[in-house]
Amino acid sequence: MRFLRGQRTMETMPRADLWYVWFPDGRVLRAAGAAAVRQQLEAGRLPPGTRARRSGEEEWRPIEKVSEFADLAGNGDGASHPAPATIASRVDPTRLRQLGVRAYFDELFAALDSTLVRPKLITAALAGLALGALAGVALSRSAPFTIDPPGWGWLLAAGAVLVLATLAAVLTNMTYMELSRLRPARWRDGIRGAAGLALRLAASWLISGWAIGALIAALRALPARLLEAAAAGDAPHAVAHAAAVAGPLLELVLWPLFALLLLLAPVLAVEQCSLGEALVRLARLVRAKGAPLLFAQGLALAVGLVVLSPLLLLLWLTVPVVPPEALAELAPTAALTQWVMLGLAAGALVAYLLVADVFLYLHLRVEGDSPRGVPKRR
């Protein structure tokens, strides 16, 4: 990892010396360099029949026929079975990293460890308080979200997006610094360059979110419009029924796009590219790894909700509730307090999802050079 004055050269790991190791049981692990493979050989963790190849090569070779390891292959006196990949493999470049679906679990639990540190928790708490306050004001004041004329509630929505973008920028910078430098991130690591990144994220999220939301609203309004047209004799009733069926199916595709937009933060932070190029890179990633990416993000959401369930239960028990006989003027204050406290939980969940997206993006970015031609198990 090289850092130039005023500009970072972003490289997650030395691709030129990336190695893949194929075990006789069918597992394929990733090693950050020949030194990592040699360490495993010296420890006796690579059983007979293991094959390896360097990144960029097509051919798998027996480990004893690879020139870099020929002097060690077969001489290890350690365990006959390789040690499984663990969370430590994320922060220890000498460990082998596992590929495939099981690797996502390691990445997500490593992201959980990375989230539960003081700087990130404080950042998430501040953002959660701001989000809760904005939501409380919008609901207690019945903020209008009208289009014509524009309601002032949209200003609160834009403020919430800006808070989320700032949180994403700071946490993404801190997490990427941890993974690239293999050291705990500091406040200045997250703040450096966060303003520009937050503004680009906010602009892209506002435009993309508005477009996706408009499509969802149009799909929901279309069946009623078609029914009115059918009643007037301008369209057959079958078209309205078809729209009622197709609308929910199309929404199944549109709603996950909101989650995919979170990946813009690590793309912009890691690649240091323009917003247009980041959108192109994200589109290519979704096209190549769409299914595993959505699976991993859904798994991250499930992990976050499970971890936060005790906090949500505590909030449900402690949030203030104004009794019916209380003065009506206390109701807005109680509602604002509820939303602020719920904002704390939401901030923690969003923080974990943002950190997890950095882990997932780097994992898929390196996995883009995934092993090809893996020998079949015999």
Confidence of residue 86 (pLDDT cuts 50, 70, 90): very low
pLDDT of residue 316: 80
* 281 neighbors 364 (Cβ within 8 angstroms): no
pTM (two decimals) = 0.71
Confidence of residue 317 (pLDDT cuts 50, 70, 90): confident
pLDDT of residue 41: 82
Is the pLDDT at 94 greater than 50? The verdict is: no
Residue corresponding to tokens 């079975």: 81
What's the gap between Cα 88 and its chain centre?
Answer: 20
Residue scoring higher pLDDT (38 or 248): 248
pLDDT of residue 9: 36
Is the pLDDT at 106 greater than 50? The verdict is: yes
Alpha-carbon gap, residue 111 to 91, rounded angstroms: 11
pLDDT of residue 321: 64
pLDDT of residue 268: 92
Locate the domains of the chain by residue range: 2-97, 105-367
pLDDT of residue 60: 80
The whole-number average pLDDT for the span 69-73 is 73
Instruction: Give the burial class of 201: count Cβ atoms within 10 A of its Cβ; 0-12 exposed, 13-18 middle, 19 or more buried.
Output: buried
pLDDT of residue 291: 86
Confidence of residue 215 (pLDDT cuts 50, 70, 90): very high
Of 21-30, 80-89, 228-237, 340-349, which range is least confident?
A: 80-89
pLDDT of residue 270: 86
Confidence of residue 336 (pLDDT cuts 50, 70, 90): confident
Is the pLDDT at 79 greater than 50? The verdict is: no
What does the mean pLDDT of the chain come to? 80
Q: Kindly report, residue by residue over 144-183, the tens digit of the pLDDT.
A: 888 878 889 889 999 999 999 999 999 999 998 887 765 7
Helical segments of the chain, H only: 34-42, 88-91, 101-115, 118-140, 153-181, 187-191, 194-231, 237-261, 264-271, 275-318, 331-367
Of 63-67, 216-220, 322-326, which range is least confident?
A: 322-326
Confidence of residue 357 (pLDDT cuts 50, 70, 90): very high
> How many CB atoms sit inside 10 A of residue 259's CB?
16
